[in-house]
Structure 1
Amino acid sequence: MMAFLRSTLFHLLFYPGTLLYCLAGLAVAPTGQGALRHVVHGWSNFHHWLVRHVLGIRMEWDGQIPDGPFLIAVKHQAMVETVEALRFAHTPVVVMKRELTTMPIFGWVNRRYGVIGVDREAGASALRSMMKEGQKAVAEKRPVVIFPEGTRVPFGAAPPLRPGFAGLYRVLKLPVVPVAHDSGKLWPRGYVKHAGTIRFKVGEVIEPGLPRGEVEARVHAAINALNP
């Protein structure tokens, strides 16, 4: 019952708050990119505060993500790590499903901040578009965050990596920072989230230029390091 009540309060605060932040983003966008980024990062801090103080979820880190232009490969089990990516990386460009970039207001703010929207049904054209947007991020010296398994999976699942990761790795020529976590234990699909501690583990930096099979194997092992 307590988890249900906490989850209800979280939803009642987070989604109206998100709308307010999006409207603020629209308002400040004409003044420059810096103001818009400030609003977006404020939204991620607002989400973090709700997760900690309303849902009762702490976050514990083993290792630290370095600053600079890296390809940050993150396990995807819940929404929480997608928003936290705006906190644990410095002004990142996040690879996300295209639907999140076409939503009214929210999608516009996403696009202005700088994200890479991927149409999973578009095949090779989606990969080409992702490479082009990734190169723009590198030119701006921004890290790129990707969820290399392609979609969120339950805690304990370890599907193979999607082709988009290897393509970005080859084209961007960036070192990879793999990040494992166990958010799915507390934040499963559905309405109710549970109090507790989410553990994050930053793996060893993987150098650019490795063969596809080797880099995929190393990243897959590293992002699943906290699986049972």
Structure 2
Amino acid sequence: MKLLRSLLFVLIFYPGTLLYVLAGLAVAPIGVAPMRRAVHGWSRFHYWLTRHLIGIEEQFEGEVPDFPCLIAIKHQSMYEAVATLRLFHTPVVVMKRQLSHMPFFGWLTQRYGVIGVDREAGAAALRNLITAGKAAAASGRPVIIFPEGTRVPVGEQPELKPGFAALYRATGLPVVPVAMDAGRIWPKGFVKSPGIVTWRVGATLPPGLLRKDIEAAVHHAINVLEHPASDIAMC
């Protein structure tokens, strides 16, 4: 059953994604607002499919922020990468530069407002991240970063990448850490499982903390939901 549900998801989601991309491109000349509505519609489309085809529910602990801040989220799967567009108010998302340069999709992400990071560029990537982060903070939109840098398997808690501290210092924004556990039911690979994704929004951390203190606080907060891989739903 999980295999069939996962297959149906793929057969509907990716063609549907193409339609949303084309819709976003079509309305982009009208203005940024209609284009962003298309992007948010795509995120809601993803949620509807994951809920009704895969059988995924969500539960929240804490309040979703509605003020300018740096939102640091645990990253275990593609699920949260799409869901953040639905859950947070028109966020600027820090993402792999390669994704923001894909044909059509990449152009749409750039128009929406993302920060593309070239992981191989070293110091140049940090400088670009700082410049783009300052511009994002000035826009009044929340900035989303996955501070561990990439998707990590359930149970792993790597150190935060230096880009997080650089962005925190450059933007002067408070940090809202968010733990989530989608990796238990949405692991890397084709088959997804039904179950509950928990989002735990931690206490807001003020700007201006020492690097070691903000990194320690965020690392702890985003990893409080870690579970062994054996907890993955078997139904």
Question: TM-score range, shorter-chain basis?
Answer: over 0.9
Q: Which residue of 2 aligns with 1:11?
A: 10
Alignment of 1:50-199 (within 5 A): 50-199=49-198
Where in structure 1 do 4 or more consecutive aligned residues deviate above 3 Å?
none
What amino acid sits opposite 1:43 in the alignment? W
CA distance in 2, matches of 1:122, 1:39: 32
Equivalent position amino acid for 2:6 in 1: S
Aligned length in residues: 227
Whether the aligned pair in 2 keeps the contact of 1:77 and 1:183 (CA below 8 Å) is: yes
Match of 1:222 in 2: 221
> Partners of 1:200 and 1:26 in 2: how far apart?
32
Alignment of 1:41-56 (within 5 A): 41-56=40-55
Matched to 1:74, the amino acid is I
Residue 202 (1) aligns with residue 201 (2):
yes
User: What is the Cα deviation at residue 68 of structure 1?
Assistant: 1.5
Deviation at 1:153, TM superposition (A): 0.4
Check whether the contact 1:65–1:177 (CA below 8 A) recurs between aligned residues. no
Q: Which runs of 5 or more residues in structure 1 are unaligned?
A: none
CA distance in 1, matches of 2:26, 2:87: 26
**1:110-155 deviations in Å (ceiling 9; x for gaps):** 0000000000000011111111111111111000000000000011
Cα deviation for residue 107 of structure 1 reads: 0.5
RMSD value over aligned CA atoms? 0.6
Q: What runs of 5+ residues in structure 2 fail to find an aligned partner?
A: 228-235
Deviation string, structure 1 residues 183-225 (Cα, Å, up to 9, x no partner): 1100011000000101110111000000000000000000001
TM-score, normalisation: structure 2: 0.96
* Percent identity of equivalent pairs: 61
